[in-house]
Structure 1
Amino acid sequence: MVLEGGVGRWYAEALLRSAASQHFFSFAILRKEEWVRVFRVQGVAEEEGGAHVDEGAPESGAQKSQNAPDSGSASQNSENLWARYQLDSAGAMLVVALRYAPDVEPESDEERAVRGLPPLPIAKEGRPAAAVGRFARANWYRETIARLADCVKSISDEARARGLPVFAPREWHRFSNSRFPEKALAVAAGLGTIGRNGLLIAQRTGNAEASDSGCAETSSWPLWSSAVVLGLMLLPFDIGKEAGTLHDEPIMPLALCGTCQRCIDACPTGALALAELPRYERARCIQNYTSGAGPLPEDIEAAWGNQLYGCDICLEACPYFKPNSEACTALGRIGGAFDAAFIAAMSEAELRAVFKGSALDQKWIAPEALRRNVAIVASLFIGKSSDVPSRLL
């Protein structure tokens, strides 16, 4: 369905207003033909690459679309995803970037007990501490999806009051940290540019600094920030071209980097390189190894540092890494430092329980990988300690 004329314009404007009211740092709408074009070129990530999708999405049923990426330009993964989420019937896409906090206060033992969860093994002074990347210290992915759901409720209520078409909540499929080409879609939507570390540097949209009593923005927002997570929402309708311009023109990669190479110099494994376009070698990236089981390459293990999950080194070196100290979420607040020796001795079931509801609560993050990671941290701190199972050292 294509919403033409005044109805299309109203929905487009309402979506963007709602995204601003939800404090997304950047946001824009891509018409279907525009995001399909990105899919055809980019394809999708491998199965283990995605984390969060909305729970109401259909599991199967649709046939491969004529618009779907063909076998010459994308893998079978693209075709399967196209069918799973019935992308034939999807319309335009809202693309958003949410700026996360530099750190969060972990959930208290009392709060976790109410939800039937065990205490978090927070590192104490004198114990080996394993770090979680800043982007995963709270579940900013689920927070993004929740705010998109609030957008749907807000504009649906208003549309109903105006006598305009209203669509069921399950028809608005929402994704964050998904297998879709989120960075490419964000660039196509004009949300920002790609930095030398291969990550999006988002540009603030309009009056995105609007605040409310829940998560107020009282300080001045920066114009650019790479401390963002991305979200997508497929709309149950497309919007005609008469709805107007829904996004800015894409910005070329490295448009903000110039001769800066702070991220390259900071990376301990040499995963980045100085080139005309961003050059990122996945096989040399610590982040790439934090979730997968198995032995680490010797040079990667030697540079491991104190990582439990994630790696912020290249991000924190970037002058555009500007988190939002006032951002808040109630979801998955685990904080950033865990007792490495304690986690190394935990079973898979115990690890799943500890990280339930957090950004680490994903089937593709192997418990064996987390135990291996903290064993490295513990061995650096206390050597062959009896606190750490020898099989993990």
Structure 2
Amino acid sequence: MTKTDNTRLIKQWTQELGFHHCGIARAVPLDEDARRLEAWLQQGMQGTMQYMENHFDLRIDPSRLVPGARSVITLLMNYYPAVRQREDAPQVSKYAYGNDYHEVIRSKLKELLGKMRATIGEVDGRGFVDSAPVLERSWAVRSGLGWVGRNGNLLNKQAGSFFFIATLIVDLELEYDAPFAGDYCGTCRRCIDACPTEAIREDKVVDGSKCISYFTIELKEQLIPEAMKGKFANWMFGCDTCQDVCPWNRFSRASAEISFSPIPAILNFSTADWEELTEERFREIFRHSAIKRARYAGLRRNLRFLEEE
């Protein structure tokens, strides 16, 4: 088959697997992105997320992850929920409403690569979903799927930003999509003005060390800095403020992916329910949820912090 045939098949399979957008770019070193990442790290905006500093060379060169890499396939999967949790309860970022996206999407990438090998032939490749040194937003832009907004999220004109980004690097030559040209944030600064901790800077840089998601998920220390008190807007796990206020998310539609259907406890738990949650019940209820990433002790810390605000 020709690379045109292969490209058409791959895009067809991604739709069948539940991905909403697929873009393909030539696998090349990301030199300009490397310079931006290096500057961000040098300013300490990764906070205690030291893993961001690791494997720098792997992040910028796909051939270091897949020898002989020819193509980077970028996929978007919608996770926007049809229903929201009660407003008077500690808030959970919408991406964590359902099953852990790492588990869900990783299995789909494995299936996609299996289809490629069964139909196209011997293909070497690796799939990644927010768990390896891949600059997925950069690849998304290069494959025509959208632009990076002021809030650091990939924005798609048809779908907004409530989607997961997955990457499949393969040693197969394919037809490539045109990079996304333009920035459609215009003069809008709603995300900057709405950010509770002023983590979004004027120069389209997000200070990760000031983000609520960082404090409630990534920070493993026992205490959240006193300077953050009164700024969390009742967010217990993650934060969606900058996405909720983004005008492009008026195009968000409820996801049809069953695995992302909200866990009943997230929708129904009151503040008291969260506070009375035992570690055993936490492990039982959230065993397939991204919330387990914060661990029981981290969740308890976050709840205490909200109580003190």
State the TM-score, normalized to the length of structure 2: 0.78
CA distance in 1, matches of 2:235, 2:195: 14
- Say if 2:11 is the partner of 1:16: yes
Q: What's the CA shift for 1:326?
A: 4.3
Q: What's the CA shift for 1:49?
A: 8.2
1:311 alignment partner in structure 2: 239
- Say if 2:178 is the partner of 1:248: yes
- Say if 2:141 is the partner of 1:187: yes
* CA-to-aligned-CA distance 1:171-220 (integer Å, 9 cap, x gap): 542221223211122122221101111111024xxxxxxxxxxxxxxxxx
CA distance in 1, matches of 2:89, 2:288: 22
* CA-to-aligned-CA distance 1:268-297 (integer Å, 9 cap, x gap): 22222334xx13222321111111233222
CA distance in 1, matches of 2:261, 2:15: 24
| Partner SS, residue 190 of structure 1 | coil
- Say if 2:169 is the partner of 1:234: yes
2:188 alignment partner in structure 1: 260
Letter in 2 for 1:288: Y
Q: How does 1:343-382 map to 2 (within 5 A)?
A: 343-344=274-275, 346=277, 350-362=281-293, 365-378=294-307
1:273 alignment partner in structure 2: 201
Q: How does 1:100-111 map to 2 (within 5 A)?
A: 100-103=79-82
- Say if 2:8 is the partner of 1:77: no
Letter in 1 for 2:109: L
Letter in 2 for 1:325: A
| Partner SS, residue 19 of structure 1 | helix
Contact 2:194/2:241 (<8 A) preserved? yes
* CA-to-aligned-CA distance 1:49-87 (integer Å, 9 cap, x gap): 88xxxxxxxxxxxxxxxxxxxxxxx9542357889x853
CA distance in 1, matches of 2:73, 2:273: 42
CA distance in 2, matches of 1:318, 1:353: 35
* CA-to-aligned-CA distance 1:237-278 (integer Å, 9 cap, x gap): 231xxx54x1122334xx111111111221122222334xx1
Gaps of 5+ in 1: 1-5, 51-73, 106-121, 204-222, 381-393
2:126 alignment partner in structure 1: 173
Q: How does 1:2-81 map to 2 (within 5 A)?
A: 6-32=1-27, 34=28, 37=31, 40-41=34-35, 42=37, 75-78=53-56
Q: Which structure's residues are more often helix, by fraction? A: 2
- Say if 2:253 is the partner of 1:324: yes
1:151 alignment partner in structure 2: 112
| Partner SS, residue 95 of structure 2 | helix
State the TM-score, normalized to the length of structure 1: 0.63
Q: What's the CA shift for 1:303?
A: 1.3
Contact 2:141/2:180 (<8 A) preserved? yes
Letter in 2 for 1:328: E
Taking a change above 3 Å as real, the CA distance of residues 75 and 133 of structure 1, as seen in their structure-2 partners, is closer
Taking a change above 3 Å as real, the CA distance of residues 145 and 324 of structure 1, as seen in their structure-2 partners, is farther
Letter in 1 for 2:106: I
CA distance in 1, matches of 2:47, 2:24: 25
Q: What's the CA shift for 1:314?
A: 0.8
* CA-to-aligned-CA distance 1:134-191 (integer Å, 9 cap, x gap): 111113443333333343344444x2xxxx5245xxx542221223211122122221
Gaps of 5+ in 2: none
Q: What's the CA shift for 1:332?
A: 7.5
Letter in 1 for 2:104: E
Q: What's the CA shift for 1:342?
A: 4.3
Letter in 1 for 2:56: S
Q: What's the CA shift for 1:345?
A: 5.2
Larger radius of gyration: 1
CA distance in 1, matches of 2:48, 2:210: 21
CA distance in 2, matches of 1:104, 1:147: 25
Q: Which moved more, 1:369-378 or 1:144-153?
A: 144-153
